[in-house]
Chains A and B, each alone.
Chain A
Amino acid sequence: MKKNIYLLAIVGLFTIVLSACGGATETSTEVDFSDWDAVVAAADGQTVNWFMWGGADNINAWVNGSIADTLKSEYNVTLNMVPINDTAEAVNKVLGEKEAGQDDNGSVDMVWINGENFRTMRQGDLLFGNWSATLPNYAFVDANDPSVLNDFGYPVDGYESPYGKAQFVMIYDTADVEAAPATITDLVEWIKANPGKFTYPAVPDFTGSAFIRHVCYDATGGYEQFLGEFDQALFDEKFGACWDLLNEIEPFLWREGEYPESDARMKELLANGEVHFDMDYNPGSAGNLIEDGVYPETVRTFVFETGTLANTHFVGIPYNSPNKAAAMVLANVLLSPEAQLEKADPAVWGDLPVLNPALLSEADAAAFDALPRHPATLSTAELAAARLPELQAPWVEAIEQGWIENVLEK
């Protein structure tokens, strides 16, 4: 008798659980995603779960403040910003859902993405496609800009919408370094003359990986030869020179050849005065860090005469998002001149805008021109004159792997 009661209880529990999941699957009505008015109508009342790197309080505050308010008041869309450590967490989540057969009620509605993660999602058919040109504010984006049409060499094809631009800059403390090295060769000379005062983050750190690419662009005789598809033979032939150069400077690095594990750790080293250089993909970050009291006032940035890597970051919508309309509305808000202008303000974030000033109204273009710029931040013109394209992801992976095998483990 007693056993029967337990059995009943267990069966009852399962029934509740099963009925609960039965109720969770709701059929979404078909929306014509190429019709903007229909998208806005469908978005009304939806919640968009935006998975984004959440490690910067200024970015979080802007997204949860200004952007969330605009979405709510103008479109009745609720923003749920999900802070993550690494975009790969969101990519794996969508992948897991696909494997489990969760094809229309996924948990990720939007991801902040570029490069390798975009490539992974495209190749795994994890992204909703061909929607970005539908956004009304896409009209302000230069449709022929190669850095918007390609993401680390991979064609975008409307599978993600541009959000901001980044360009690599070198950071140095003018109190300790007399003149910024103009070229990689000058930097190498400086490193040898000042042992222990330079280093770069170890891969897989994004920033450290980019620094290695700069050195390799220089040591292998130019990036132009690597712009196409990955070529193993060419890689093997050319990159030995790069590993040689990196090994040559290794004994002169911080602690006789130590690599910090992250960009964040690298920032601490410069702030502590342990090293005199740093590097960042956001040209405005040094200015922000000075304002935040992390860096001393004497810190400035520079780009090499041969240029620095520039790329675009995007937002993408997973194929199984149940709130695609709301995600598109969010992407459109992010592309609006108002949001791009706010985002570019160093007091808010200081991220480079993706809009082409020539396509904006005169008033908007003037507002972009009038943005305050921290003395440590280079001007848009200085940056634009020094842009280098990114290589396709397989090249980047091969370089990272090559660095581990030939430099780190040697």
Chain B
Amino acid sequence: MKRLTKYAGVALIVLGVLAPFIPILIWSFARRWYFPAVLPTEWSIRGWAYAFSSASRLPQALWQSLLISGVTSLLSILIGLPAGRALGLHKFRGKTLVEFLMLAPTIVPAFAVAMGIHVVFIRLGLADTMIGVILVHLVPTLPYVTLVLAGMFANYDVNYEAQARSLGATPLQTIWYVLLPSIYPGLIVAGMFAFIISWSQYILTLLIGGGRVLTLPLLLFSFASSGDNNVTAALSIIFIAPAIVLLIISARYLTGRNVSLARGN
């Protein structure tokens, strides 16, 4: 019975998450669909045909989006892990200030700083390059990654590391066998946050990438604003798909059941 309720709950959540996409899915196949018709009066695959034609440059955009978001997530974790550890485990002077500075990019609109960053990046030769875009994507992703990992470390008992070391583990072995297994649900969540935030950047990519770096949002937004629902819907689904796949793959890590070394477990 308990199991049944649980499955019903999961089904409801899945439905709640997927329901908004049903109209988009229908739009992507609709030729004429206007009020008050419940379903499109005419169907067409024009949107999909365009998305997969060479004219749409979808493969290039998809590849560059994946690469940028992938590398951004990895870098965010590499930078966010030590920061999160320090914030989660230690008390030090000015910690509140550091936390505030970490959060600042989520409060200040990225666009406000992006103009300045753009000028600096032009001078450094980073404008219009993929490296530049990845670096600027770190601005909005890092606060989330650091905070998620800080939360993870708040429940982490550092004594296990001392125990491992006293049993003869090298520092690398300690990281590999003790630290990483205990925080990896946090790593997955943080990585997903970073990926999805980077995946949906438009203005930062456009400004720093200068259009030479072509990502999916760039393709999508130029259609969304033109009112072409057919193509926009098809591109939207392609845009959303990786996020959903990621969510499904990582869903089992999100329960926290595998955290065996957390304090109080």
Interface residues, chain A, CB within 8 Å of chain B? 17-18, 20-22, 24-25, 49, 51, 53-57, 60-61, 63-65, 80-85, 89-90, 93, 96-97, 99-102, 107-108, 262-265, 267-268, 271-273, 292-294
Residue from B53, B54, B207, B211 within 8 A of A82 (CB atoms): B211
Question: B231 in the interface, Cβ–Cβ < 8 Å?
Answer: yes
Residue of A nearest to B135 (CB): A17
Residue of B with least CB distance to A274: B35
When C-beta atoms are compared, the residue in chain A nearest to B35 turns out to be: A272
Tell me whether A83 and B219 are in contact in the complex, defined as CB-CB below 8 angstroms, given that A61-B50, A96-B122, A97-B122 are known contacts: yes
Closest to A100 in B: B122
Closest CB in chain A relative to B22 CB, distance in Å = 20
Asked if B115 contacts A267 (CB within 8 A), the reply is no
Q: Assuming the A-B contacts A82-B211, A293-B32, are A57 and B228 also in contact, with contact meaning beta carbons closer than 8 angstroms in the complex?
A: yes
- What would 17 A/B residue contacts be, using CB atoms closer than 8 Å? A21-B124, A57-B46, A57-B50, A57-B56, A81-B57, A90-B211, A93-B207, A93-B210, A97-B122, A101-B122, A101-B123, A107-B212, A108-B211, A262-B225, A264-B228, A265-B227, A273-B35
Contact A85 B212 (CB under 8 A): no
In the complex, what distance in Å separates the CA atom of A127 from the CA atom of B128?
20
Q: A61-B50, A65-B54 are in contact. List 7 more A-B contacts (CB 8 A).
A: A20-B125, A54-B223, A83-B218, A97-B127, A107-B128, A264-B228, A267-B227
Structural contact, B119 and A100, CB atoms closer than 8 A = yes
Specify which chain A residues have a CB less than 8 angstroms from the CB of B46 in the assembled complex: 57, 292
Binding site for A on B (CB under 8 A): 31-32, 34-35, 42, 44, 46, 50, 53-57, 115, 118-119, 122-128, 206-207, 210-212, 214, 218-219, 221-223, 225-228, 230-231
Residues of B within 8 A of A57 (CB): 46, 50, 55-56, 223, 228, 231
Bound Cα distance from A25 to B50, whole angstroms? 37
CA A49 – CA B42 in complex, angstroms? Answer: 38
User: Looking across the interface, which residue of chain A has its beta carbon closest to that of B211?
Assistant: A82
A112 to chain B, nearest CB (A): 13
- Which residues of chain B come closer than 8 Å to A85, judged between CB atoms? 221-222, 225
Given contacts A51-B211, A294-B32, contact A25 B125 (CB under 8 A): yes
Contact A55 B228 (CB under 8 A): yes
Shortest beta-carbon distance from A282 to chain B in Å: 13
User: What residues of chain B lie closer than 8 Å to A96, measured between beta carbons?
Assistant: 115, 118-119, 122
Residues A264 and B226 in contact in the complex (CB < 8 Å), given A97-B122, A293-B42: yes
Contact B227 A54 (CB under 8 A): no
From B34, B206, B218, contact of A273 by CB (8 A) = B34
- Docked complex Cα distance between A54 and B115 (Å): 23
With a CB–CB cut-off of 8 A, which chain A residues contact B115? 96
Residues of chain A lying within 8 A (CB to CB) of residue B44 = 293
Instruction: Give the nearest-CB partner of B225 in chain A.
Output: A85
B57 proximity list for chain A (CB < 8 A): 64, 81
CB distance from B78 to the nearest CB of A (A): 13
Report the minimal beta-carbon distance from A115 to chain B, rounded to whole angstroms.
19
Q: Are A84 and B219 in contact (CB under 8 A)?
A: no
Task: Give A9 Cβ to nearest chain B Cβ, in Å.
Answer: 13
Residues of A within 8 A of B50 (CB): 57, 61
> A83, A102, A265: which contacts B122 (Cβ < 8 A)?
A102
Instruction: Name the residue in B46, B123, B127, B231 with the highest tally of chain A Cβ atoms < 10 Å from its Cβ.
Output: B127
Task: Collect the chain B residues with CB atoms within 8 Å of residue A107's CB.
Answer: 127-128, 210-212
> In the assembled complex, which residues on chain B have CB atoms less than 8 Å from the CB atom of A51?
211
Q: Chain B contacts of A60 at CB under 8 A?
A: 55-56
Docked CA distance A262–B227 (Å): 9
CB distance from B94 to the nearest CB of A (A): 20
The reply to whether B55 and A65 contact each other, CB–CB distance below 8 Å, is: yes
Interchain CA distance A159-B218 in the complex, whole Å: 28
Measured between C-beta atoms, what is the minimum distance from A148 to chain B in Å?
A: 27
Closest 9 CB pairs of A and B: A264-B227, A55-B226, A21-B125, A82-B211, A61-B55, A54-B222, A100-B122, A293-B31, A107-B210
